[in-house]
Structure 1
């Protein structure tokens, strides 16, 4: 007979070495999450910090991993001024793969993560109890650390497809995004703006990687994903098949942006995917969010680490979207109030306020 497992046993957690830090951080976080171990029992000198990101085929997960590395500084790590981590002393952050924005905010509400990446419009919906969160209590304890970059709505088809504009999605099989993702929220909004109902097509609710695979095989006609270009799922597909992106522009897109103030006009650049021309589409800010009850000193340290010059290099070298993550844009027009710890950092850095001296973001 198999030997019984002792449910009361505790794993031995040791501080990670400088090498293979991300792997070690993930292991330590998993150690902290063993049932019965609890957050109150973090090993002395360590604090674990989970960031809800997105699917591994999107942009949130790799960016979240870079951020987790940048804000961490476990015991024994090399000092910042000697080429080591410039993160918060004793903090071990880890990027947690999820379905995306909606799931991340649900996890943040329930305490399943300590921070979350989410689309600005979805964050505002959670904060106000509207949109996809209609009928639920407003998450008025939601706070922003800052805006990271602008994401783009991608609607991807094979090059030979007979879909050329949003109205053409009718009578086609389309992956609209996974349940719990911001992509599904945005796809529904975008299609409705062009008069396309979900019942007008064959909708599938798939992760972007699965959607891309089924487009490649010809099983379905298109898939949607919201992410900072280049998105992994789209790049991988474009390496195997000739693809096109469907534009979202014109009066329909203009009206949608007027109705939803967190949506913007953006362009997916020419050639960012092999053989794909510049494509106008809808954009939305990606924000890093926490709960209001996270200690101000901790959020101040995380914000400072996020915008440290060493982190900037890490982001630029680590992901094509990294060079667009700019502290100058972080505090302006966030969809929810800034956390008090972030406010303190932005004021110290001279990044909060406009030329007229007014706050650039709502502060509570």
Structure 2
């Protein structure tokens, strides 16, 4: 459940400004590493849904968020870690890849043999997450098969990227033991690549990714395509993957479109969260004020649209979110 602080406690944390005599509600959004896409998107959404006591209402030209709510984006290890934190009650919500959310709720895939997270609920599908396979331009890596024997970061435990990196390797006839695997966040892997100590790394997230853009501005890189028979076999076995393309010019030195795969980034929560709270958060997510923040705040913000809010959602909607989508005519 979300935490509450009375007005007396709240004043110890607020400087200046008048606050109304109401409870202050905190709502955390688990994201990912600070160099990825989850974290900045989480910050935009936290800003959009927040409306702390004492602030102006939407009608007064102020916040169009949930009255009394302060939301925050929390850096984490990513999808798997966010699901576990929501299940354990240490996060009120978080972002997760569609595949990870589905597996966790059903107790299948990477969750096989573990208790399913039956209370996992969806707020919205946000945007497609592209699988990036970044390589040093001089590493001789032009396909996934070329990773054999190379130093490759698969991302850290608890991340959805690690899950998908293993699937990609499998689709091309490789396993973790076929590469010199390391398990680093993308910014750490990029640092190793600058030092000549890393040949390639995986990252799953919306483009442009900050860590990759910064790396590409400092040294020549290759964005390795994930296509052909290997990609087709992966899509057949794991239907939550979709064909995707990273446009030319997204990263410096990448002059052509690059074919890859993508999964959906979804905002999830627990069935234990109050219906009225999640209704208010969903309503705040899709108002005009939030639209402006998303359009101006991040390249991936522009593709977070209400018409795709339910695309690829394979777990139950939270009742509060469901109520909003029915009222908005997006759900029959």
TM-score over 0.5 for the pair = yes
1:322 and 2:322 correspond: no
Aligned to 1:348: 327
- The higher-RCO structure (CA 8 Å, 6+ apart) is 2
Aligned to 2:28: 50
Q: Secondary structure at the match of 1:98?
A: coil
Q: How does 1:76-225 map to 2 (within 5 A)?
A: 76-225=54-203
Q: Secondary structure at the match of 1:248?
A: coil
Aligned to 2:5: none
Which of the numbers 334, 337, 353 marks the counterpart of 2:316? 337
Between the aligned partners of 1:352 and 1:253, the Cα distance in structure 2 is 32
Moved over 6 A (4+): none
Residue 329 of structure 1 and its aligned partner are, at CA, apart by 0.4
Check the 8 A contact 2:10/2:24 in 1, yes or no.
Answer: no
Q: How has the CA–CA distance of structure 1 residues 161 and 123 changed in structure 2, closer, same or farther, with 3 Å as cutoff? A: same
Residue 74 of structure 1 and its aligned partner are, at CA, apart by 0.2
Residue 125 of structure 1 and its aligned partner are, at CA, apart by 0.8
1:285 and 2:249 correspond: no
Between the aligned partners of 1:17 and 1:156, the Cα distance in structure 2 is 47
Aligned to 1:260: 238
Aligned to 1:312: 291
Gaps of 5+ in 1: 1-9, 19-42, 354-364
Q: How has the CA–CA distance of structure 1 residues 222 and 17 changed in structure 2, closer, same or farther, with 3 Å as cutoff? A: farther
Q: Secondary structure at the match of 2:95?
A: strand
When the two structures are superposed, what TM-score results if normalisation uses the length of structure 1? 0.85
Which of the numbers 230, 239, 248 marks the counterpart of 2:217? 239
1:303-345, Cα deviation, whole Å (9 max, x unpaired): 0001111101101111111101001100233021111111110
Residue 15 of structure 1 and its aligned partner are, at CA, apart by 4.1
Between the aligned partners of 2:15 and 2:179, the Cα distance in structure 1 is 50
When the two structures are superposed, what TM-score results if normalisation uses the length of structure 2? 0.93
